[in-house]
Amino acid sequence: MDKDCIFCKIANKEIPSSIVYEDDDVIAILDISQATIGHTLVMPKKHYDNFLCVPHELMHKVMDVAQRIGMAEVSVLGAKGVNILINVNEAAGQTIKHFHVHIIPRYIADKGFQITLQDHSKEKDLNLPMLAQTLKKGLK
């Protein structure tokens, strides 16, 4: 547990939250700011700074719960789709340094949450096969 971490305090019940699910390892709570109705955060109870440093087995448990939450958002909230979002580090918009997965139900395409992926491949004249090789070498 990180004594300064708000999600550790939530997992430890020192701070109240609206709990959707919990077991020994994983907790799912409603995000305090609801991007759309039902916006849920799934996280390990134990502190890990971000997605990149979570042990494989625990990641599996978190993603299993994330999938179940997504299914419930569709079946009981009537969502027509779901966005799964993980921010890693400040550069990617992570504000709370305790790994969590956003499960954001979607009802109407342009309401509540938007992410725009831009295509910069042309202007930078990228060599995609070479880039793939570079990344491949970095895989562990």
Catalytic residues: 100
Rounded Cα distance, 125 and 60, in Å:
37
Give residue for tokens 């079946």: 75
Among 39, 98, 100, 106, binds Zn ion (CB under 5 A): 98
Tokens of 12: 């430890």
95, interface contact from ligand 5GP, Zn ion, none, CB < 5-8 Å by kind: ligand 5GP
Q: Does 32 bind ligand 5GP (CB under 6 A)?
A: yes
Among 30, 47, 49, 74, binds Zn ion (CB under 5 A): 47
Q: Does 83 bind ligand 5GP (CB under 6 A)?
A: no
Count the alpha carbons within 13 Å of 68 in the hemisphere toward its beta carbon: 13
Residues in the chain: 140
Q: How many residues bind ligand 5GP (CB under 6 A)?
A: 12
